[in-house]
Structure 1
Amino acid sequence: MLKVVSDHYRYNCYTMASSSAVGKLSREEFRRQKDLDAARKAGTAPAALDEEGRPINPHIPQYISQAPWYLDTGAPSLNHQRRPENDNSQNKLDNWYDRGAKAGPAAKKYRKGACENCGAMTHTKKDCLERPRKKGAKYTNKDIQADDIIQEVSAGYDAKRDRWNGYDTAEHKKVYEEYAAVDAMRQKLREEEIDNQTTTDLAAVRKVAKAGKSENKKDDDADFGSSEDEDADEDKYADAADAVGQKLDAKTRITVRNLRIREDTAKYLINLDPESAYYDPKTRSMRDAPLKNVAPEDAKFAGDNYFRYSGEAPEVQDLQLFAWQAAARGNDVHLNANPTQGELLHYEFKQKKAELKDTTKTSILAKYGGAEYLDSAPVELRQGQTENYVEYSRTGQVIKGREKAKARSKYPEDVYINNHTAVWGSWYDTSSGAWGYACCHSTLHLSYCSGEANIEATIASSAQHLLGTSSQKEQTSEEASTQNQERPAEKIEQNYSKKRIGEGDVKLDQEKLAQAVLEEKKRKSKGKLDDERSSKKQKSSLESGSHEVTEEELEAYRMSRRMTEDPMANYVDKDI
C-alpha cells in the first residue's frame, strides 16, 4: 500500500515538474485560453497547428491531445498518438528465416573449402543436413548442392519468445487428414459389423462393437490412439452409428433421423415473410411449403405434408381405408388389432380387383371391338420429339445437324386451281370489302384466272375511275363551249371534284390574305350575337349555292381559330 502511494506521489511530482518547465498560466491567460478553445470549437478561430504544420482537431479530448510528461515537447502535437514512421522490420512478429532458400544454381565441380558431403560452401561436413553419402562430393564431383543463403534475422522481443514463429501450417493439415482417414475407416468397420449382426440382443451388439474396437486399437499406432474419455463414450454408445443427426435402434435395426444437420438451412429461414407458412417452434414442424412458387420436386423443403404423403405413407392410408370399409360391411378387419390379416386381405382384394377389371375390359372389347384404338403412339412421336442434335447460329441458321421438319396441317397447302398463281384470300378489295385472288383481283370463289386483263377491267369498272372520267368529260365540254367563263368552271370543279378546299399545292395572295384577316378580326369583335346572325346568313347562302369561299378567307378563318380556340396554344409546362 505504501509503495502504491509513493508511486502516485512520484507521478504527481513529475507532472508538476513538466508543467513548471512550460510555465504556469495566470488567471487571465487561462481565461483567454478557454475562450480561444471555445472559438476554435465553434469555427470562428483557426485550428491550432502542430510542429509539422498540420491542423489539430479542436474537438479531440484533452486526455488524447495532451502528451505525457516523458513525450512532452512543449508545443501542441499529436505525434505521440501516431505510429512511428521508421518502423524497423526486425520488430515484426512474423520475421523469420526463409527455409530451404538457395543462392542460385549449384556448382559443377568441387571447390576447395566446401562441404565434403554435398559440396556446398556455406557449411562443413559435420553441419551438413544432407544424407551421408558413401563417397562424398569431394571425391565424385556429382550431385553438388547449391549454396544456402545465410540470413541475419534480428527478431524483436515478441518474435524471440513466440513458440510458433516459423511454423508451417501446411504440416498440420497432413496430420489432420491422416487422423480423419483413420477415423473414417474405423467408423466404416464398426458400421459393417453392426449391420452383419442379425441378433436383436443389445448385449451381443455391444460385445461385437467392443471386440472390433479392441482389434482396431491393436492395429493402430500409438500416435493415433484415442483418449480414455473417447473410449468410454464409444463403449457407452456402441449401439449407435456416428452419423450426424441419426440414431440406430439396435432392436428394430432402423436408423432414425432425430435432429437436423447443422449445415442445413432451418425451415423458418427459407422464407422470412411473416405471411408465409406457419412454423410451430414446439414441434419444429411446418406443414405447408414456405415457397409457393417453387415446384415441390425442385424445392429444398416442400413442407411436412409433402413428406407425409410421399414414400409408403399413401399405401398405409389405402390400407387403413380398406380396413374401415371392410369393417363397415360387417367383416372383422382391424388394422391396429391384426395388421397382418389386414395386409393379406388388402393384397387379395387388389388382385381380384385387377382380374375383374381385365375381365370387364376383355368382354367389352369382344362385344364392341375397338382394341386397335387403345394402343396409342408414344408421346415422343406424337409431339415430334427426337434425339437428333441440331446446332444453330446467332442468326438462326443451322450449323450442325438437320433442321427439324415443319409440321404440316391436314388441309392441302400450296394447291392452285383454275390457272391461279395465288390462293384464295390473298387479296382484299377495300371498295367492296370482299376477299379474292391476288393474281387477278377476282372476288368470285372457284373462278377462272384471267391475269392482268381482269385487274385492268376491275380498275376500269371501279366507281372512282368512272367518277373521274365523267368529271374530265364535263370539264372538257365546258372548256370547249365557253372558254371565257373561267369562274363557272372553277365552281363546278369545286363542287364535284374529290379535292377539298385548302388541300394540295395552293399559292395564296398576301394582300387578299391580309384583308381577309382584318375582316375576320372585325367579325370576331362584333360579339356572339352578330356571329350567330352571320352564321345563319352564311348557312342560308350555302343552301342557296351562291357562296364562293376563297383560299385566303379560309386561311384567315383557320388562323383565327388557331389563335383563339387552340387549348394547347399557350400551354407552358411548369414542372420543367
Structure 2
Amino acid sequence: MASSSAVGKLSREEFRRQKDLEAARKAGTAPAALDEEGRPINPHIPQYISQAPWYLDTGAPSLNHQRRPDYDNSGNKLDNWYDRGAKAGPAAKKYRKGACENCGAITHKKQDCLERPRKKGARYTNKDIQADDVIQEVAAGYDAKRDRWNGYDVAEHKRVYDEYAAIEAARQKLREEEIDNQTTTDLAAVRKVAKAGKAETKTDADFGSSEDEDADEDKYADAADAVGQKLDAKTRITVRNLRIREDTAKYLINLDPESAYYDPKTRSMRDAPLKNVAPEDAKFAGDNFFRYSGEAPEVQDLQLFAWQAAARGNDVHLNANPTQGELLHYEFKQKKEELKDTTKTSILAKYGGAEYLDSAPKELRQGQTENYVEYSRTGQVIKGREKAKARSKYPEDVYVNNHTAVWGSWYDTSTGSWGYACCHSVLHLSYCAGEAGIEATQASSAQQLLASSSTVAESKRPETEETEHAKVLEKVEQNYSKKRIGEGDVKLDRDRLAQAVLEERKRKARGGKDDDDRSSKKQKSALESGSHDVTEEELEAYRMSRRMTEDPMANYVDTDL
C-alpha cells in the first residue's frame, strides 16, 4: 500500500475508497497488495510497521525497510587474519639494495626486523639471507578490528600449559626420589627435604607455584562467611546468598532433559543428576542426599515420635517443649530395646539356637586392606600414610586460669548457680584455688554459718540463757535465710498494734516537728544510733498509715490545657 507521504493529501472520496479496499483485503474478498518484487503483503500488518519512514519511502508498497539488507560479509569474518611466519619462496643468494641490513629480507627494514641482531649484518657478510615475508591484505571489518582475541592461536597456550605441567611433574618426581633415598628414620630430616623443595618452588622465578597463594587462602579462610549465607552485623539476619561463581550449576552437571528435575525458583534439584555414580563419589548427589545426612534423620524420628504420641492423647509437642520430647523419646527407645531383648531372650530360651548368633568380629572378617604403612623402631611413619584420627572442630582439652574442669561442670544447689567442679567457684574466668577453694566455699555457705553459729552459741551460753540463744538463732535465720520480709507465720499482738497505731496517728498530727518532746528526741536518737528495734506491730502501723493517706494527685487540675 502506498504511503500518504508519497501520494500526498488524499481527498475524502479517495480516502473512503482506500479504507474500503483495506477492509476488503482484510476480509479476503480483495487480493493482497504486492511489493516491488511481487510478493504479497499481509493486510493485517499494522500501518506503523508497513509504512516506510520518509527517508526510505520509494512511493510503492513494500516491506524492504523491515528486512535485513543483503550484502557480502565475506571480508568481515572474525577468522580472517594474517598467516604467521609465512615466507615467500626461497631466500635470495645476494644482498639486495633496500633490503633489511640485519637479515637480508626485502619486505621490511632493519628497525622492524624480528631476527636476532647480528654482530655483522647480511649487508656486510652477504650470508644467511632470510626469505622474504608474505605481505597479506586482510580486509577486517568493524568487529574484526575491535576483537582483542582476533588472530589468537589456541595451540600456543596449550604448549605453555604442557610445559608448566611437565616441569611440575619432574619437580614432584625429584622430591619423591629425595625422600625415598633417605636412609635415616629421623622425621626431622624428611621435613627438611620437604621444606627445601618448597623453598625451591618459591624461589623459581620462571615457573612459580601456587603454594604461597594456598597459604594465603588458608590464612583468611577462617574469617570468611559460610557458603551460601551472608550475615549482616547490623540487623543480625542471615540472608540467603547466591551460589559461588566457581561452582558448577546443578543443571549443568547433566544436560539430559530426562535427568533429575531442577526447580529454578528455589534453585533445588532433589534427585541426583548422575544415576550411575555413587553418592560418595559424585560432586553433587542431590539435595535429598544432604537432607538425610548428619543429624537430620534423628530430628525426623523425634518429630514422628511427637506426632504419634500426640495422636494417642499424650501432651507432647516438639516445638512447645523440646526438652520433654527429648526425654520421652529417650525413655521410649530404652523401653523398646529392653522389650526387644526380652523377646529375643524368651525366643532363644524356648527354641534355642543362641550358638548360631555368635560370629567373628568385623575387624577379623574384614581385616584385609590395601593401605600399607611402615613404621620405624621409634614409631615414626616411613612409608605410607597413617590413618587420621577423628577430631572435633571445637577446641579440646583447653583449660584457663589453672582450672582442671570446664565452666558448668558443677552446680551449686544452695544458690542455684553454675561453676567449676575443680574449685567450686561460681565466678566465670576466675583463678582456680583447688581444694582450698572448695573448703572456702563450704565454709562461707549459709548452712555452714548456721551450724557454726549454733555451735558457738551452745558452747558459750549457760543452761539458764535460753532466751538469748533463741535471739541469736533468730538473728542468724533472719540474715541468712531465703525467706523474704513479710513472708512466714507472723503473729501480731493486738494491744501493742493498737498502741502503735495510736502513736503513729499522734506523730502524723504533730507533723514530726515536735523537737521539744523528750520522748521524740530519745526515739530520734535511738533511730539514728541504730539501737532501736522496730517491732512487727510498729511496722504494720506504719503500713496502715501509708494506706490511709490521701492520694496527692486526686484533686490535681492541669491548667496548661
Q: Give TM-score scaled by structure 1 length.
A: 0.33
- Bigger radius of gyration: 1
Q: With CA pairs under 8 Å and 6+ residues apart, which has the higher RCO, 1 or 2?
A: 2
Q: Give TM-score scaled by structure 2 length.
A: 0.33
